[in-house]
Copies of this chain bind each other. A is one copy, B any other.
Amino acid sequence: MITISIDAMGGDRGLPATIPAALEVLNRHADVTLILVGDRARIERQLSAAGAPTSERLRVVGASEVVGMSESSASALRKKKDSSMRVAINLVQDGVADACISAGNTGALLATARFVLKTIPGLSRPAICTALPRVRGHTYMLDLGANVDSPAEILFQFGLMGCMLISCLDGKASPSVGLLNIGVEDVKGNDTIKAAAELFKRSDLNYVGYIEADDIYAGDTDLVVCDGFVGNVALKAAEGVAQMITATIREEFCRNIGARCAALLAKPVLRSIHQRLDHRRYNGASLLGLRGTVVKSHGGADVMGFRCAVEVGIQEVRKGLVRRIEKFLIERSAAATFPPSTSATSESECAST
């Protein structure tokens, strides 16, 4: 039996997204128990309204506070010790839950998870990894913003963790890994990238060399490794241009009667384009490098999106991802010449970005 704690209050929508998503998960996965964390009275009211009372497989744990979507991580960590997010993570630390899913504020989730669960020796922060759509299939990318200025060894560890995630989620034994750079030739990039490339070349990973950012969406590499600053920029630039294109298409199909008629006639085609590009299917970013499973859902996720994020967590637990990463990196750390564990302990250290 797998137990998942859900920060039921997190995200832009809160309970109206998390509760129906939780009920869908229970229907789809008979071996899963869910713990909904948050305002007990409100959660129970919504459960009764949905005709789904609490049960052995659907429990509620009360938490009196909620972390705001734009609240600083320092404030969340120091002042909201009874937040739905914090209590949901505590349940993982206490061994009550196997994984925690939250659509709450990313900075606060990273800081809290890092403070409560600690990172694996050798890593100072977890890395954020998610799948991104391609014309055929998808690519995973990390780090998407948890770390800025990652040295070569950390980039290499991102690669190790990413490959283990892909083997868990997609069942690929030896996923291909590329390092994000501004050209594919050996002379390209800064010293950190070049040093990381050497580590990848000397490893057992299926390293394919440098890749450029257009290949994230157009290529066929399974995993793209980069610093969190660069990864965050790549992800958000892509989101921005996708929104711009969508807005332009919508405007043009609404411009006049003729365009509206065309939209009506093209509706099945437009619907299947929308389905293929539906980002909700890719919702659920893994926080890798923690001593526990935490999955971040997009803040704006709806029921389907949040359900997908919970399913990422379930799959990671089923495959024992955290233990596999932990074992591998602790062995590597023990054998390596780089500084050992910097697992954070102080609140202020965890809250800094």
Contacts and interface: CB of A to CB of B under 8 A. Distances in A.
Interface of A: 72, 107, 133-135, 145, 148-149, 180, 182-183, 185, 187-190, 212-218, 226, 228-230, 232-245, 247-249, 251-253, 255, 258-259, 261-263, 265-266, 268-269, 272-273, 276-277, 352-353
A353 B148 contact: no
A223 to B, nearest CB: 16
Q: This chain: how many copies in the complex?
A: 2
9 contacts: A135-B247, A187-B353, A190-B229, A213-B235, A218-B240, A233-B233, A241-B241, A258-B268, A266-B266
Given A242-B241, A247-B135, A255 B269 contact: yes
Contacts of A229: 182, 189-190, 230
B230 A214 contact: no
Per DSSP, are chain A's interface residues mostly helix, strand or loop, or mixed?
A: helix
A133 to B, nearest CB: 7
A265 B133 CA distance: 29
Contacts of A262: 262, 265-266, 268-269
A228 B182 contact: yes
Contacts of A149: 190
Nearest to A141: B237
Nearest to A70: B185
A49 to B, nearest CB: 36
| Most chain B C-beta atoms within 10 Å of own C-beta, residue among A180, A245, A249 | A245
Contacts of A180: 233
Contacts of A258: 268-269
A213 B236 contact: yes
Given A188-B353, A230-B233, A244 B134 contact: yes
Contacts of A188: 353
A145 B238 CA distance: 17
Contacts of A266: 253, 262-263, 265-266
Contact of A214 (B214, B240, B247): B240
A72 B217 contact: no
| Most chain B C-beta atoms within 10 Å of own C-beta, residue among A234, A236, A239 | A236
Give the 5 A-B residue pairs with the shortest CB-CB distance, closest first: A214-B240, A213-B236, A217-B240, A234-B237, A262-B266
A183 B353 contact: yes
A214 B245 CA distance: 12
A297 B261 CA distance: 39
